């Protein structure tokens, strides 16, 4: 599971479709009030979620490419809205190597642009005239908000458990990734078994993806990530490596190391100390092994389902979740 797959290479079979999806988004947001969204949409981004809609849908003898591209555009719009809103919630300064949306245009415009994006995405989905994509994304949005809310509620809770953390990331990240796979499968008329398996792939892949994201918050290169590091920890968001670290420390060590967090008075030096301890104690490695288990489960879902078309691409995606640097 170790050779680094480049995401653009992994998604090469659907490159033309992904380019069409970006054009579709910009077309859908041509109202002058929404044009600033292009600032984020054209700043890069992995296109992972629309990629999964397309991969899961471009199967069978005559896939409905237009519907799939529209659904892929809708999920990327939802994802973009979550990033705009999340950066306000997290007081983030940078996204995709650019000032975060709210830093450039202020929180009022950022909240409302995010709302506009959600509504536009659902309008696009409604025009597909199929119940499943709408139902799936409505449920996903409920889960996304629940996960983000739970995360805010859990801030600075130094006793946060692994199970609680998994509950949060399942909702705030994995649910959307699973929903993308299900929407694609549903639009291609996949059997309930394949639809379930692809959804399970997405859920496990999403768990691995978010655990790695949280590890990168401690160790990543801000230039490659396009956002600041140690930012989650600075806001009191305790992630898996920190949960494992807390379990390995004695009560006294824990008190000393986490005192700045307890006082809600972290600074770069105290944050760096915690990150170094997570590394040195093996907690970071332990979290990465957990991510590997989720990625392996994701791969097994595809192997067991015998998903026709793009089977290799799914396997490479699961590897990418573990070794990505951005």
Burial pattern 244-276, b for ≥16 Cβ within 10 A else e, equals bbbeebeeeebeebbebbeeeebeeebbeebbe
Instruction: State which of residues 10, 18, 110, 144 lies at the interface with ligand FPP (CB under 6 A).
Output: 144
Q: Which does 172 bind (CB under 5 to 8 A by kind): ligand FPP, Mg ion, none?
A: ligand FPP
118 makes contact with ligand FPP (CB under 6 A)? yes
Q: Which residues bind Mg ion (CB under 5 A)?
A: 86, 90
310-320 CB burial, b ≥16 within 10 A, e <16: beebbbbbbbb
Our finding on whether 82 is near ligand FPP (CB under 6 A) is yes
Using CB under 6 A, which of the segments 31-39, 45-53, 79-87, 153-161 binds ligand FPP?
79-87
As given in the structure block, the two tokens for residue 164 are 């609680």
The residue number with the shortest CB distance to Mg ion is: 90
Per-residue burial over 62-96, b = 16 or more CB atoms within 10 Å of its CB, e = otherwise: ebbeebbbbbbbbbbbbbbbbbbbbbbebebebbb
Site string for ligand FPP, 153-172 (x = CB under 6 A): -------------------x
Which one of 94, 145, 248, 253 is in contact with ligand FPP (CB under 6 A)? 145
Q: What is the longest distance spanned by two Cα atoms in the chain?
A: 64
Q: Which does 101 bind (CB under 5 to 8 A by kind): ligand FPP, Mg ion, none?
A: none
Site residues (CB under 6 A) for ligand FPP?
A: 82, 85-86, 89-90, 92, 118, 141, 144-145, 148, 172-173, 213, 227, 232
């Amino acid at each position: 599971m170790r050779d680094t797959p480049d995401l653009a290479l992994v998604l090469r079979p659907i490159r033309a479709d992904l380019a069409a999806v970006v054009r579709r988004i910009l077309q859908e947001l041509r109202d002058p009030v929404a044009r600033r969204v292009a600032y984020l949409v054209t700043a890069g981004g992995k296109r992972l979620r629309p990629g999964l809609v397309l991969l899961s849908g471009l199967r069978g003898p005559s896939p409905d490419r237009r519907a799939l591209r529209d659904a892929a555009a809708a999920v990327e719009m939802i994802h973009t809205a979550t990033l705009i809103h999340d950066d306000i919630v997290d007081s983030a300064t940078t996204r995709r190597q650019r000032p975060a949306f709210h830093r450039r245009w202020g929180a009022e415009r950022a909240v409302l642009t995010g709302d506009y994006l959600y509504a536009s995405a659902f309008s696009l989905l409604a025009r597909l005239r199929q119940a499943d994509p709408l139902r799936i994304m409505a449920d996903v949005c409920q889960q996304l908000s629940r996960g983000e809310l739970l995360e805010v509620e859990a801030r600075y809770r130094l006793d946060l458990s692994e199970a609680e953390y998994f509950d949060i990331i399942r909702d705030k990240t994995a649910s959307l990734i699973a929903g993308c796979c299900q929407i694609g499968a549903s639009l291609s008329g996949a059997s309930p078994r394949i639809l379930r398996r692809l959804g399970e792939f997405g859920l496990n892949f999403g768990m691995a993806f978010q655990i790695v994201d949280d590890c990168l918050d401690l160790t990543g290169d801000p230039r490659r990530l396009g956002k600041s590091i140690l930012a989650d920890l600075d806001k009191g968001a305790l992630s898996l490596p920190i949960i494992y670290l807390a379990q390995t420390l004695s009560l006294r060590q824990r008190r000393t190391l986490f005192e700045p967090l307890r006082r809600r008075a972290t600074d770069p030096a105290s944050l760096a100390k915690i990150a170094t301890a997570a590394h040195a104690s093996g907690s970071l490695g332990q979290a990465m092994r957990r991510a590997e288990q989720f990625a392996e489960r994701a791969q097994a879902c595809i192997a067991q389902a015998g998903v026709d078309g793009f089977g290799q691409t799914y396997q490479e995606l699961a590897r990418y979740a573990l070794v990505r640097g951005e």
